[in-house]
Structure 1
Amino acid sequence: MEILPKPASNKGPAHMFAGEVWFDVIARGEEPSQLRVNMVRFAPGAHTAWHSHANGQTLHVTDGRGLVQARGGEIIELRPGDTIYTPPGEEHWHGAAPDHFMSHLAMWEALGDGQEGPETAWGDHVTEAEYPKGQ
């Protein structure tokens, strides 16, 4: 058994996020594990760009109110305790509602042996027309 040191919080990079986003790495997927886990904190209105994960992603909301949308799907409101699974390759975005903070655990698997390509494929930012205002 080992207690791992807590790394410093990281600011979400502008090419991946709109608004103020901070994340803490909890699990890095070091061999033999492929599991990666981040605690992500979004300021009101902050959200990811469109993206997809080679091995899918699970989000578990821990605090606040958030939004998630798959490309072409409806926007879904998230509250504490909600868990969302996005299958491999499905483009989506997620983040805080316009007037609330939101925190979630983001869980996904690193690329395994024989898998090629990006673990996470980042796309365009969500447009003002796509992100709802004042929900």
Structure 2
Amino acid sequence: MRKVYTLCVALGTFAGLWMMQAQEKQNPNFTGGNVTKLDEGTKATIAHFRFDPGSRTKWHSHEGGQIILVEEGVAHTQVKGGPVIELKAGETTYAGPGVVHWHGAAPDKGGVQYNVTRGGITWLDEVTDKEFRATPKK
């Protein structure tokens, strides 16, 4: 019985060390230093949305933040208290954890976005037409 227990402990230790080495092993596709993949226990969610002209989200925030990448067309976004920002295809923005914001299309142009989030979403009030139609910072 003692030999079986010792063998199990040894195998468990070896497997743990092997996994650590596998994670720390230098990836041949990266150069110039060590690159470590972070696993923080929170899965990212990637959503792909087409916003028709004039459409937008409500004010909201994300527990782990949100990255917005405009794939095509035009997008508008705003952090609460800041200016409306216009984004075009290939441009990105980031709203950090707990930062209240909205995003959507321009009033007269649609757009497609990839939205990457982590954690829960807190939905708030609708974005008013006055807020939405404010002149964007380009």
Q: Which TM-score applies when normalising by structure 2?
A: 0.66
Rg comparison, structure with higher value:
2
- Residue 123 of structure 1 is matched in structure 2 by 124
The total of aligned residue pairs comes to: 96
Q: C-alpha separation between the residues in 1 aligned to 2:94 and 2:126?
A: 21
- 1:131 maps to a residue whose letter is F
Gap regions ≥5 residues in structure 1: 1-31, 111-118
- Residue 61 of structure 2 is matched in structure 1 by 52
Indicate yes or no: 2:97 matched with 1:96: no
- Residue 68 of structure 1 is matched in structure 2 by 77
Gap regions ≥5 residues in structure 2: 1-40
Query: Could you tell me how far 1:109 is from its partner in structure 2?
Result: 1.5
RMSD of aligned alpha carbons? 1.7
Q: C-alpha separation between the residues in 1 aligned to 2:46 and 2:98?
A: 18
- Whether the aligned pair in 2 keeps the contact of 1:98 and 1:134 (CA below 8 Å) is no
What percentage of residue pairs aligned between the two structures are identical? Answer: 39
- Runs (4+) of structure 1 exceeding 6 A deviation are none
Structure ranking higher in helix proportion: 2
Q: C-alpha separation between the residues in 2 aligned to 1:62 and 1:96?
A: 12
